[in-house]
Amino acid sequence: MNILLVYPRVAETFWSFRHALKIVRRRSAFPPLGALTVAAMLPGSWNKCVIDMNVQDLKDADMTWADYVFISAMIAQKDSARQVIDRCHNLGIKCVGGGPLFNSYDQDYSDVDHLVLGEAEVNLPPFIADLAAGAAKHRYDSKEHPSLQATPAPLWDLINLKDYSSMSIQYSRGCPFNCEFCDIIIMNGRVPRCKSNEQVLEELNGLYDRGWRGALFIVDDNFIGIKKKVKGLLRELIRWQWQRNMPFTFFTEASVDLAEDEELMNLMVVAGFNKVFLGLETPSEESLKECGKTQNLKRSLAESVSIIQRHGLAVMGGFIIGFDNDPPDIFQRQVDFIQQTGVVTAMIGLLTAIPGTRLYQRLEQEDRLLFQASGDNTDVAGSLNFIPKMDRQMIVNGYRWVMSTIYSPEMFYQRVLAFLRDYQPKAKTFREGNDILTFFRSLWYLGLADQKCGRDCYVRLLKEAFSRYRNSLTDVVTLSIYGYHFRKLFWSPHIPLQWEEWWAGQFHPREG
Ligand code: B12
């Protein structure tokens, strides 16, 4: 049996890092972890091939080689996935869909020959058995949440690691919290399930033996879901990393209550973590209450960010605009919060109702749902798929202003300085020759070739970093390269930095 696993192209979004990738000379930011994991679950005797369309084209010859095309996708790959499905139909090849896109929007994929939904650990074995017996059904959709202790290590040999700027592994699935808008708890449940420490170390060995060094994303829904267990893992990670001279620099996703656990932050930093993505969402307490994000209300959010950054973990933040309780000054408040706390990489999205979530159910009951969201919450046209309480145009205009403002060169570099004042890097991280080349390329793209305003700001920042924050120099260059990508996507020099000035030129709902 020949199986072709396809990872469709992701739309250009905040996370595609397209403009940054050309500076670091990589084709894509992250590997197709779901497809590689599924490949490892297929019978050993089957031939497997992975095509990640973000690094190479999918040719008809690749497709006709296959008996089955397995498509692994999330919502941001919807358009490309549709093209792959249509190509399968035209070429007469059977296709199988799995992953978050098909889980959430299964009704749109009745033409896919087989939908293997939920977690592959549960639904793939019966599909494979039926396939072997020549009696495969259209749909396998058990919602059971299996233990991860039998999940195999991804088949890394099916991709070229050098195409990616970061590798990924998964330690756990699920999150104990119950935020109204989040579909993770629908997909993966509220009781976190972890791999064993041995499994994680085996996956790390697999990457290390294949020559990977540098960034490694632990893609968990909430890495600190079970604090006691994760501390045990971190102690083993520290030993593993130190024995090999710290080959990996980790980053992950966690909840804000990380700030309350000194020991956990210290263990993470010693193990080589230098960044953490937190769902900060909003400085408006009323909006946090509305969405049930109680973990963000325990202490001041700004203080939590500061504590985490002082421990040596750079905070990347997710923020949301569009809650019913958002006050009219939410736009300015979000900008002020982000600037003051020095959350350099800030992903602000419009609130989106995803099927299956408590938010979706509530808006459905209130008859406020409008259309199916694009899935990219930074896309003003395709997000905000419900009737908001605040005037819709005001939210869209305000959102554009927030994005353009925080990614304007002036505000961005000011924010990096605010971050440097708090951040105390401690992680002994791996440095490679490529870092130096990247630095010189950044000088070209962000220094010489950029617009005057961006260029001047970057040079000023580098001078400041050289004189006062030499330990953070690599972080400064990396953050600036990310910032360059965001600036290309979101900054408009025509949008003034002053809210009043922008607002004066806008449509005013009350005036009609
Ligand atoms: C890492 C991650 C990312 C990474 C990149 C991943 C990549 N390689 O490109 C980054 C940070 C870039 C990212 C970005 C985004 N992400 Co994301 N991301 C994740 C995260 C946290 C982990 C994904 C992962 O690797 N999981 C580990 C693997 C093993 O799990 P898996 O892929 O689900 O695969 C399992 C099953 O689904 C199944 N399976 C998967 N594929 C297939 C295929 C077949 C044929 C079969 C049979 C089975 C099968 O088997 C696997 C084992 O059980 C998930 C949340 C999650 N827990 O999965 C969100 C998630 C996938 N992301 C999501 C979203 C919305 C986004 C963004 C659009 C957010 C945004 N607003 O911009 C952007 C996309 C833009 C972009 N350009 O990439 C949503 C998708 C929702 C949906 N229904 O499609 C998720 C589910 C999180 C969420 N609930 O919000 N993401």
Q: What is the model's pLDDT at position 348?
A: 94
Q: Does 30 sit in the ligand 1 pocket, CB within 6 Å?
A: yes
213-217, 438-442, 454-458, 490-494 — most confident range = 213-217
H-type alpha helices, 153-284: 184-188, 197-209, 227-243, 262-271
Q: Does 192 sit in the ligand 1 pocket, CB within 6 Å?
A: no
Q: Tokens 């259309």 identify what position?
A: 371
Q: What is the model's pLDDT at position 507?
A: 64
Q: Cα angle vertex 56, ends 50, 62, to 5°?
A: 55
The CA 120 to ligand 1 mean position distance, Å, reads 14
Atom of ligand 1 nearest to the CA of 183: 89
Q: Does 33 sit in the ligand 1 pocket, CB within 6 Å?
A: yes
pLDDT band at 430 (very low <50, low <70, confident <90, very high): very low
Whole-structure pTM value: 0.94
Ramachandran angles phi, psi of 183, nearest 5°: -100, 0
For residue range 491-500, list pLDDT tens digits in order. 998 999 999 8
* Cβ-contact 253, 221 below 8 angstroms: yes
For residue range 246-301, list pLDDT tens digits in order. 999 999 999 999 999 999 999 999 999 999 999 999 999 999 999 999 999 988 99
**Rounded-to-integer distance, Cα 122 and Cα 370, Å:** 34
**Rounded-to-integer distance, Cα 108 and Cα 253, Å:** 30
Better-predicted residue by pLDDT, 219 or 511: 219
Burial (CB < 10 A; 0-12, 13-18, 19+), residue 103, is: buried
Which residue minimizes the CA distance to atom 75 of ligand 1? 15
**Rounded-to-integer distance, Cα 292 and Cα 177, Å:** 9
- Within a 13 Å sphere around the CA of 411, how many CA atoms are in the beta-carbon half? 27
For residue range 376-412, list pLDDT tens digits in order. 767 777 678 999 999 998 999 999 999 999 999 999 9
Q: Does 34 sit in the ligand 1 pocket, CB within 6 Å?
A: yes
The CA 448 to ligand 1 mean position distance, Å, reads 36
The CA 72 to ligand 1 mean position distance, Å, reads 9
For residue range 55-92, list pLDDT tens digits in order. 999 999 999 999 999 999 998 899 999 999 999 999 99
Which residue minimizes the CA distance to atom 19 of ligand 1? 219
* Cβ-contact 57, 10 below 8 angstroms: no
Atom of ligand 1 nearest to the CA of 184: 89
Average pLDDT of the chain to the nearest whole number: 92
Asked if the model's pLDDT at residue 235 lies above 50, the reply is: yes
Partners of 95 in the beta sheet?
69
Q: Does 124 sit in the ligand 1 pocket, CB within 6 Å?
A: yes
Asked if the model's pLDDT at residue 511 lies above 60, the reply is: no
Q: Does 121 sit in the ligand 1 pocket, CB within 6 Å?
A: yes
Which residue minimizes the CA distance to atom 44 of ligand 1? 98
Q: How far is C-alpha 8 from the chain's CA centre? A: 16
Q: What 3 state SS string does 33-92 have?
A: HHHHHHHHHCCCCCEEEEEECCCCCCCHHHHHHCCEEEEECCHHHHHHHHHHHHHHHHHC
Q: Cα angle vertex 110, ends 107, 115, to 5°?
A: 90
* Cβ-contact 318, 347 below 8 angstroms: yes
Atom of ligand 1 nearest to the CA of 17: 77
Concatenating the DSSP letter of every residue in 126-172 gives HHHHHHHTT---SEE-------STTPPPP-GGGS-GGGBS-EEE--E
The CA 55 to ligand 1 mean position distance, Å, reads 17
Concatenating the DSSP letter of every residue in 8-27 gives PPPPS-GGG-HHHHHHHT-S
Q: Among 219, 350, 359, which residue has the most ligand 1 atoms within 8 Å of its CB, making it the best to mutate?
A: 219
